[in-house]
Amino acid sequence: MHDHPMPSSTPAPASLEPTSPTSAALRIAVLGTGRMGLPIARRLHAAGHRVHAWNRTRAKAEPLQDLGVQVHDSPADAVQGADIAVSMLENGPVVGEVLFARGAAAALRPGALFIDMASIQPREAREHAQRLAALGVAHLDAPVSGGTVGAENGTLAIMVGGAAQDFARAQPVWAPLGRATHVGAHGSGQLAKLANQMIVGIGIGAVAEALLFAAKGGADMAKVREAMTGGFADSRILQLHGQRMVERDFAPRARMAVQLKDLRNALDTAQDIGFDGPITALLETLYAQAVAHGLAELDHSGLFVELAKRNAMS
């Protein structure tokens, strides 16, 4: 759901040409077909799997019907008979609602695998895993980095928590979507994603402050960014978000409000595990002030605007 930096070892985009279904084709339910879920469903269908889809607003799933994907009116109907269910929903409470209030968990057959690709709290992922295990359903938390471009091109970085054997049997799901890494037990995928979001949020703040500092002193901000390319301070954040700052292009790819939510989730989890994260706390304060000043719908690189105003540079 975010356009965050991707590892350099990310695979090249895979073809979207459909392959003929084989004996290895799985019945896969995709719950949530928004900006990320729709291309994920497309790629799984193109890989030859029998894909069934559900979305709270049905119209967002209906474009998949032209491909031969069956669209359902309820999540419980979508997961009936599924080998694997993949969800890309808004947050932890919504995942819990779809699973346990709207009947998806009860409708999954014993032995099925539920893969939650949403970004939620680690403790929520562990709770969902426990409740599903009581029904005989396996669980993986598998949040992603790479944004809609990564979802469309099959170049997502996928951070997976759960049992190693479940990670292995999910290989037919990982292959069309990107590069998956098993990082530990249930909830560990969410910890890895929060760590990713901490680096992104902190990195954006560092790049914005440094470029503004250079400009305030009289340097050409675009040239300063160019001069750092290839040096020790170079990064995907300097390249991508730094260019947005130079161009004052803050059209939302990943919104400021979402970055703030991510940092708050990281701080909540830090409290749960007894970890002191002072740098994350500082950036949470800065993003919160930016949102309070009306910048919530800007791209998260728009923290630059908040820092510019502080220095009378807007």
User: Which residues are the active-site residues?
Assistant: 193
Structure tokens at 104: 């998806």
Which of 49, 141, 26, 28 is closest to 95 using CA atoms?
Answer: 141
Cα distance between residue 88 and residue 34, in whole Å: 8
Q: Strand, helix or coil at 299?
A: strand
Within 13 Å of residue 186, how many CA atoms lie on the same side as its CB? 18
Which of 292, 120, 286 is closest to 203 using CA atoms?
Answer: 286
Q: Are 113 and 85 in contact (CB under 8 A)?
A: yes
Cα distance between residue 159 and residue 184, in whole Å: 9
Name the helix (H) or strand (E) containing 181.
strand 178-184
**Burial profile 8-43: b = 16 or more Cβ within 10 angstroms, e = fewer:** eebeeebeeeeeeeeeebbbbbbbbbbebbbbbbbb
**3-state SS, one letter per residue, for 24-90:** CCCEEEEECCCCCHHHHHHHHHHCCCEEEEECCCHHHCHHHHHHCCEECCCHHHHHCCCCEEEECCC
Question: For residue 136, which amino acid is it?
Answer: G
Cα distance between residue 2 and residue 122, in whole Å: 18
Q: Using the Cα atoms of residue 158, residue 164, residue 169 and residue 171 in order, give the sign of their dihedral.
A: positive
